[in-house]
Amino acid sequence: MPPQSQALFDTLDLLFLGTIGLGTVAWFTRRHFFGGSSSSSSSSNAAKSAAGSSTSMLPPPPERNFVKVMQQQGRRAIFFYGSQTGTAEDYASRLAKECSQHYGVSSMVADIENYDLTYLDALPEDSLVVFVMATYGEGEPTDNAVDFWQLLVEEETPQFSDRGSENGNQPLANVRYMVFSLGNKTYEHYNAVGRTVDKRLTELGAQRIGERGEGDDDASLEEDFLAWQEGMWPAFCQTLGVDENSAQARPRQATFAVEELESYNKDKLYLGELSEWPKKGAKIVYDAKRPYLAPVTSRELFSEDSDRHCLHVEIDISDCPDLRYQAGDHVAIWPTNSDTEVHRLADVLGLVDKLDTVVMVKAVDAAASKKHPFPVPSTYRAIFRHYLDICAPVSRQTLMSLVEYAPTEESKACLERLAKDKEAYRREVGDGVRNLAEVLALAAAGTDTTTAGFFSSVPFDLIVESTSRLQPRYYSISSTPLTDPTKISATAVTLAYQPSPDDERTVYGVATNYLYQIHATAAQIDRKSSTEPFYDLAGPRNSLGGTKIPVHVRKSQFRLPRNARKPVIMVGPGTGVAPFRGFVHERAVLKQKGEDVGPTILFYGCRHPAQDYLYAEEWPDLFKTLGGESRIITAFSRETDQKVYVQHRLREQGEDIWRLIDKEGAYIYICGDAKNMARDVQHAFVEFAMRYGGKSEEAAHDVIKKLRNTGRYQEDVWS
């Protein structure tokens, strides 16, 4: 394309994206650039995270009219969830359980992707719909909520079924709803999805019942959820004509039935497989619901005298045509729980001698949309190792449900204290990062018996009901397909830390330590004396063989400008540099091909140049290839007594950086910590607009907002 045409094309892109706004940018980018999503397209399922929102064993129900399903099954409330990592689904399930258990109201839990929400206007007035919606990335809907978002938010005049047409421009006038939204205050668009859904429903005539709930994952999402419920249930009961005072602690109703099997088909037994057995002759497509078992190699990036490990992981996808990626995407790695934690939980539940017993787990409610929580039949060992997130801190609500199974008064008092005392729970479980097994062991401590089998009376179905599915971990891809489309790179620091100075326990990251053991085994590093957790690397039926990992690719909006002549400014300390390694490699390849590539500036920070300077050997040649104003600017926080961070280096270059932004249309990319670094970096850019652009503080913030809305200020951050 001639430079003049490319420049015009780029300008029109910016004008178009700036006009349609951020929400539509999310949809437009996802749909037109990255494969899109629609209710009739398999790409929606491919993009969707398999993180607990559905299992491959559960196809969407044949009847997509959820109102008809509710009427057929006698349900008065429906709890829709938009979930990326499974938390929103867990909350929706807990609400539905409480709804039935304490208030006797029949309800259903539904993945919002599995039903056609154009029937929302047909919901009877004596029913209630509850939306539990998480916000993902830059104020975007979760993958499973994209279709709903497109209908409700991006359509100026949403088209519902004929039932609501009699209400004119308020087609949802008969709808009564509740909203609980999940977000993180360190992100720019806090709870944007829940807030926007709430606003649009009201604009379309729906009546919100009670206050909108908002959970902050940076503080205490669980406490926010529990606090919202206190006001939610009275409003819920009043709306549905239920006597709140008649609520009672009925005998526990099991959600799942568990049966130990003596007879079963060994060929159909799931030992950790993440997807259903393929039908004979069917084409196998690898995506979020069926991750690909990819060969993996790795190398250590930190020096030998570093007290940490950082791996450069190379994932081979040469034999998987279904997996395609672009620089800036994320690779999802499905870990296993360590055998250390598997045995810890099995021990306190009295299941050590039964780990290889085969069990069937299925929903008690025959009409439930989710018949099985994970692939079954399976074994206790496989369930603990591959399917349940047994390493996550246990919730207060779960602890309360376990009180009645405590075998001694002392253990009962311990569980009650942690379940009811918010401060004690925060200190010992939340901040202490204690999982279910550790809390049960804590409750057993000080008794006259050992922890082995101490809580053997706890029904296994309660463990399944109360424990989330083990989720994939997402890593920014640190490579570009322009260099090698058959290899995906990721950069991961092995996570291991003490929760507090006076706590001698070490908390280990599930996925990074799993990856490190694969690396250590391949590198023949002796770990016999190590206190680190040990993992089964063979995988179910030796499908991994110690050299493979289950993966899928999640598309991202974190993208280089389509016009390579535009300058790019990247800020990425630590492993935040990962996507920028891919970006720099990509622009270097384009430069080598003779394309006109604009200035490429990377601000990178780490502790010490001799210990944890990631990819130090690569940067000189890459930036030499790029030439011109392109350069890497480093900040080493522990090289001298004075700590220097990327935001300090950024300010040192302020005038030049502002010129690139203001005069040359530079794109800005931030990757790393959202709570401190990303916020400080944004403040620096606001200062540049004020100092070098002559803007007022308000106008300077508007500059950043406009850059965001036109795709010129992008973040890939975490808390």
Structure tokens at 604: 């990178």
> H/E element holding 578?
helix 578-592
State the Cα–Cα distance between residues 691 and 650, nearest whole angstrom.
14
Question: Residues 235, 240, 246, 250: what is their CA dihedral angle, to the nearest 10 degrees?
Answer: -100
| Residue 645 annotated as lining a ligand binding site | yes
| Residue 498 annotated as lining a ligand binding site | no
Q: What is the CA radius of gyration of the chain?
A: 26
Tell me, rounded to whole angstroms, the distance of Cα 125 from its chain centroid: 35
Does residue 716 have an active-site annotation?
A: yes
| Residue 613 annotated as lining a ligand binding site | no
> H/E element holding 220?
none
Give the Cβ contact number of residue 363 at 10 Å: 16
| Residue 135 annotated as lining a ligand binding site | yes
| Residue 508 annotated as lining a ligand binding site | no
| Residue 88 annotated as lining a ligand binding site | yes
| Residue 474 annotated as lining a ligand binding site | yes
| Residue 547 annotated as lining a ligand binding site | no
Question: Which among 407, 542, 400 has a CA at the least distance from the CA of 462?
Answer: 400
| Residue 497 annotated as lining a ligand binding site | yes
| Residue 556 annotated as lining a ligand binding site | no
Cβ-based neighbours of 718, under 8 Å, separated by 6 or more: 672, 673, 674
Structure tokens at 598: 């604009």
Running DSSP on this structure, what letter comes out for residue 509? Answer: -
| Residue 492 annotated as lining a ligand binding site | yes
Angle 142-148-149 from CA coordinates, rounded to 5°: 65
Cα→Cα distances 265→235, 378, 477, Å: 49, 11, 40
Question: Which among 588, 600, 585 has a CA at the least distance from the CA of 668?
Answer: 600
Cβ-based neighbours of 59, under 8 Å, separated by 6 or more: none
Q: Which of 37, 411, 671, 673 is catalytic?
A: 671
State the Cα–Cα distance between residues 148 and 171, nearest whole angstrom.
16
| Residue 136 annotated as lining a ligand binding site | yes
> H/E element holding 475?
strand 473-476
| Residue 97 annotated as lining a ligand binding site | no
Q: Which of 53, 476, 478, 556 is catalytic?
A: 476
| Residue 643 annotated as lining a ligand binding site | yes
| Residue 36 annotated as lining a ligand binding site | no
Position 481, amino acid: P
Cα→Cα distances 646→550, 570, 672, 684, Å: 35, 10, 11, 10
| Residue 646 annotated as lining a ligand binding site | yes
Report the length, in residues, of the chain: 719
Does residue 718 have an active-site annotation?
A: yes
Cβ-based neighbours of 321, under 8 Å, separated by 6 or more: none
Give the Cβ contact number of residue 701 at 10 Å: 16
Q: Which of 121, 224, 673, 716 is catalytic?
A: 716
In 3-state terms, what secondary structure has residue 106? coil
State the Cα–Cα distance between residues 409 and 414, nearest whole angstrom.
9
| Residue 196 annotated as lining a ligand binding site | no
Q: Is the peptide bond before 375 cis (omega within 30 degrees of 0)?
A: no
Question: Which among 168, 182, 251, 172 has a CA at the least distance from the CA of 214?
Answer: 182
Structure tokens at 410: 């002392």
| Residue 182 annotated as lining a ligand binding site | yes
State the Cα–Cα distance between residues 634 and 636, nearest whole angstrom.
7
Angle 101-253-437 from CA coordinates, rounded to 5°: 105
Structure tokens at 377: 């039949």
| Residue 680 annotated as lining a ligand binding site | yes
State the Cα–Cα distance between residues 452 and 576, nearest whole angstrom.
43
| Residue 713 annotated as lining a ligand binding site | no
630 in Cβ contact with 600 (< 8 Å): yes
Does residue 619 have an active-site annotation?
A: no
| Residue 483 annotated as lining a ligand binding site | no
Q: Which of 116, 702, 718, 719 is catalytic?
A: 718
State the Cα–Cα distance between residues 233 and 210, nearest whole angstrom.
9
Question: Which among 87, 18, 81, 20 has a CA at the least distance from the CA of 51?
Answer: 87
| Residue 218 annotated as lining a ligand binding site | no
| Residue 535 annotated as lining a ligand binding site | no
| Residue 647 annotated as lining a ligand binding site | yes
| Residue 493 annotated as lining a ligand binding site | yes
Does residue 143 have an active-site annotation?
A: no
Structure tokens at 687: 């200062």
| Residue 184 annotated as lining a ligand binding site | yes
| Residue 190 annotated as lining a ligand binding site | yes
| Residue 476 annotated as lining a ligand binding site | yes
Structure tokens at 86: 């499974």
| Residue 116 annotated as lining a ligand binding site | no
| Residue 83 annotated as lining a ligand binding site | yes
**530 burial class (0-12, 13-18, 19+ CB within 10 angstroms)?**
exposed
Residue numbers annotated as active site? 476, 671, 716, 718
Q: Which residues are annotated as a binding site for NADP(+)?
A: 308, 575, 637-638, 643-647, 680
Q: Which residues are annotated as a binding site?
A: 83-88, 134-137, 182-191, 217, 308, 473-476, 491-493, 497, 509-512, 575, 637-638, 643-647, 680, 718
Q: Which residues are annotated as a binding site for FMN?
A: 83-88, 134-137, 182-191, 217
Q: Which residues are annotated as a binding site for FAD?
A: 473-476, 491-493, 497, 509-512, 718
